[in-house]
Amino acid sequence: MGITVFSLSLLVVLPFAMMAYTTTQMGWTGFWETISQPQVTAAIKLSLWMSFLAMLTNMVFGTLVAWVLVRYEFWGKSLINALVDLPFALPTAVTGISLATLYAPNGLIGQWFDKFGIQVAFTPIGIWLALVVVSFPFIVRAVQPVLAELSVEFEEAAAVLGANRFTTFRKVILPELLPALLMGAGMMFARATGEYGSVIFIAGNIPMQSEILPLIISKLEQFDVQGASAVALFMLLISFVILLTINIVQWKLSRRVGAR
């Protein structure tokens, strides 16, 4: 216990405490003025909105991928299973450079979108794409173990009783998946709001248009350490509230499932 508390204090609590201390030196008024600047406010809205859209996207497609990996046997399954974890293994900067190269207006994929007047790189669409890629494993790895433990007999019993596939998913499968799905979504959303390495190369960093909150921090650090600490503390509070809310909801859902 002593080693654990010391490690957490040294690695987690101490840096956050110093960040909070640096922020308190500017006072509540200075903190609010920094957060409420139009450029910072626009970055906050864009970060939260793109993170939310990426979360919804991964909740759908991540669950589908987890379902296929658990329920089907096919050639190349091990390769696909390994590719799911690739965003964790690759440096985020490498991911961002790869996406920017592919989806730039003259890129391998971006040139086809450009013919229809759609620009992916250096726009909010590029931010959404980068967040989807780097946070994709969170949903898959959260849902996959639950699906592996879920017996097929429950689905067969629902089919015998006359339930169609949608009803079976809604009444039988989804209640079992929901706690794990919410936990994965919460972790993914918190990660996406603070993602920097993969986004910086594809966002374009255009103020009021494609500038996200982590990019604001890198800009502020060049001139104002207290201002950068204020924005970083605000990001920390957002992530903490998200994770706390998800944990409370997951706990209540787990109790409800266990009561059944």
Nearest to 47 by CA among 205, 211, 200: 211
What is the average per-residue pLDDT within 190-195? 82
Taking the alpha carbons at both ends of the chain, their separation in whole angstroms is: 35
Q: What is the pLDDT of residue 78?
A: 87
Count of CB atoms situated within 10 Å of the CB of 131: 28
Q: Report CA 125 to chain centroid distance, whole Å.
A: 15
Confidence of residue 128 (pLDDT cuts 50, 70, 90): very high
Q: What is the pLDDT of residue 260?
A: 58
What is the average per-residue pLDDT within 11-22? 76
Confidence of residue 57 (pLDDT cuts 50, 70, 90): very high
Domain spans, the chain: 37-259
Higher pLDDT, 234 or 131: 131
Mean pLDDT of all residues in the chain?
82
Q: What is the pLDDT of residue 217?
A: 66
Confidence of residue 246 (pLDDT cuts 50, 70, 90): confident
Higher pLDDT, 251 or 149: 149
> Under CATH, to which class is 37-259 assigned?
mainly alpha
Nearest to 174 by CA among 54, 57, 63: 63
Confidence of residue 16 (pLDDT cuts 50, 70, 90): confident
Residue 79 CA to residue 6 CA, distance in Å, equals: 40
Count of CB atoms situated within 10 Å of the CB of 70: 15
Whole-angstrom CA distances from 231 to 10, 15, 234 are: 22, 15, 5
3-state secondary structure of 1: coil
Higher pLDDT, 6 or 108: 108
Nearest to 188 by CA among 20, 84, 59, 81: 59
What is the average per-residue pLDDT within 30-57? 86
Higher pLDDT, 95 or 196: 95
Q: What is the pLDDT of residue 53?
A: 92
Q: Which of 43-57, 79-93, 224-238 has the lowest mean pLDDT?
A: 224-238
Nearest to 113 by CA among 82, 122, 7, 87: 122
Residue 36 CA to residue 41 CA, distance in Å, equals: 6
Q: Which of 20-29, 70-79, 196-205, 214-223 has the lowest mean pLDDT?
A: 214-223
- Residue 207: CB partners within 8 Å, gap ≥ 6? 39, 42
Q: What is the pLDDT of residue 4?
A: 78
Tokens 């994709």 correspond to 136
Check if the beta carbon of residue 86 is closer than 8 Å to that of residue 133.
no
Check if the beta carbon of residue 147 is closer than 8 Å to that of residue 71.
yes
Confidence of residue 61 (pLDDT cuts 50, 70, 90): very high
Higher pLDDT, 133 or 224: 133
Q: What is the 3-state secondary structure (H, E, C) of 210-257?
A: CCCHHHHHHHHCCCCHHHHHHHHHHHHHHHHHHHHHHHHHHHHHHHHH
What is the average per-residue pLDDT within 109-137? 88
What is the average per-residue pLDDT within 70-76? 86
